Structure formats: structure tokens, C-alpha cells
Chain A
């Protein structure tokens, strides 16, 4: 996988390799999705919990990046923790995820994320993340 500087794609090599892509936004936060494929399959015909977690986490960072860009900030982001709640099995179809900034401080952001498939009102998994923001020297 080539790594180019100033890549307009905000996704990490891991996220792109897993097949995560952006499709529009919701309340200013990028809406991400991943197609069902062998790379995300756990139990036959179902999403692996780890793949669902990867989608949630990526959507959480994307939501925070979008908000920080709007505020003119570009800190380095470091994960503190993530708690994932698995609500129902992810079936063999496209999954979406979008993050929401619950609290944005100077050093810490608290982000909640929802993932769903057919029905936006029926999430398959949710996550809460704490993310440390380190402002670059300058």
C-alpha cells in the first residue's frame, strides 16, 4: 500500500485495507461504511466483532478530525480507551458508522459512535471513546 504525503483520504492504511470508505456525512461528521467481505467476516455470514470495532473506532476519529478542522485545530490524536457494546449480529451486508462529539475539551475528547446496517434507528453496535489531543509544537 503506497503512503503518500498530503493524502486527501483521512483514513488510516488499516481502515483502507479493511475496505472502509466515506459516504457523505451526518451533522458534520463523516459517514463511513464497509461492505461485507471476507476481510470482515467472523462467524460465517456475520461481521467479526473486531471488524465492527475497527469501523466504529475509525468513524470516531473521523468525526473528531472533522470537528477539529472546523475549529482550525490539527493536534495529534492518541487513543485512551474504547468501550464497544454489541447490540445485534452484523449480517452479510454493508455496515455504516458515524461518530458524535459528546464533549470536546483542550486535551481530551469524548466521542460516541453508532454502527447500523439497514435501519439507522436500530444500531448493531455502539462505542464510547476517549481520545487524547496533543497540540503540535509551533
Chain B
């Protein structure tokens, strides 16, 4: 039996743009594939996807929060509201990998089963293992979310239940939503102490828990009074119940209002460029260390260069990698 042939990237790109589910699935597989030929085709695929969609349309949302806060149930509840509003939805759900075996249990779909019966095929879920990355995401999330942006109106990334310090998701989503547990004061303490990076939206889930949820919400609101993110957005806090379905419409509205705010302030495209630059810098640091970054012109310089240029993440990364290797040899 001959080795299975890799797919043609241009056909895939056309399929993805037409929201062909099989083409999208194969594209995600290709973006995951580390073999050199696959990597070449993946770069070609990303370069062929409609650039305007990747740069400035759709809405890339990140959902993060401690384990057990109900992120998957909340995601499922949001999908329902978005589908009622006729928006198509792509989900990237990240789960932890075992540090010993590398294996992972990808269980988030269990909480989203209701959407399997979506008649129009408007929901697509891909699970990912974090594969040893810190920060609740895996390296594949950024390229994969680009492919999803080409196909869907809303792309939601659900992170591993992380500690409050490491929210890499804020460097990869237009809108970051932090889900807090009622009666767990940790997030508030971290916010007050400035340890936790400020998300764009704080959600207290399990509002059906009553007093505990109200108390947590009040504390959050007090803490957040006049709290702005670095771009100047004032951070709201909401109470919802994913299982009872209350407050979800309001949450969807608030997420949308942040997207509109980003567009109005001309920040959507700028921020996505920043995300890509961050992603490339992280990969370079991993491969070449601080020394390598210095040889390439330093963090600030590289960041600047990357945000000014166009190109797919793989192409940009490969160009810098080649430059480093060339410098190294001379």
C-alpha cells in the first residue's frame, strides 16, 4: 500500500472558503502535520485563504477560566444563541496532555452534543491537546483559528482550565472572556493584585447558585470599577447560568459590542497582526532561545517588523528561521 497522498492546498482553500466541512477537516489535519512536505502545503494553504477574512472579518473569541467553571457548558449555550442569530460557529477546544505519555483526553464535545443535530451544519468542533505548551493553548491554535475564520462567522477558542496567571488566550483572541466560579475569590484577588491579565469580559457562571454568584459578581464589579484594558475598553462583568440558559443572550450581545468597539477603533486588524507576531516570536524563542532572538534583531525590532508585514504565519516564521540560519553560518 502506498503512503497516502497529501491534499492539494488550493483545493482545500477553496473548500474552506465555501465552508465545505470535509475540506476544513483536512485543512486542520494539514495544519497539524509536521512533515516538511505537509508544512510546505500548509503554508501555501494559509497564503491562499482569503486575506480580508483573516485580517478583519469574523469574531475570534477566547474563553478561559479555572477547571470546573463550566467553560464547555457555557460554550454550548453560546453556540445555541449564535445559531438562533444565524451565525455559523467554529470551535477549537483545548484539553491538557499527559506530561508523561503525551496522551490526552479530548472530552469537551461531550458538553456540546446538542449541536450535532444542527441541520445547516453551522457548527464545527475540533478538539486539541495542549501538547506540553504552557498557557492553556497549543501551538496549532493560531494557524487553525485562521482556517476557521475563513469559514465561520464566530470562532471560539476554549482553553485548558488554567491558573489565573497564564492567559495566553488574550494574545490570540479579539475578545477574551474569563469565566469565574461563584464563591471562588481567587480570580478577584489576582485581579486586585494585578497578577491576572485583564480580560475583556468577566463572567460569573452558575448564577443559579444564587447568593454565592451574586456576591462574586458584586465583588468583581467593585474591583473592576474603572478598570480598562490596555486599548481603553472598559471591562464589564456579567452573571449567567449555562445550564439554565439564563444571561446567555446578554453575554452574546456584550461579546458583540466588544467586537463592534474594536472595529470602530480600528483595532481588529491591528490586534490580529499583533497576535501573529506574538505567535511567531514564541516559536522562535522556543527554537533558538533568547540568543536567537537577539541575533535576529531583538524582540521589539522583530515585533515591529512582523506587524508591518503581510503573510501567513508559516511563511513569516520560515523567512525569519532561514534568516537566522543564514546569519549563523556566516
* Bound pair (A, B): no
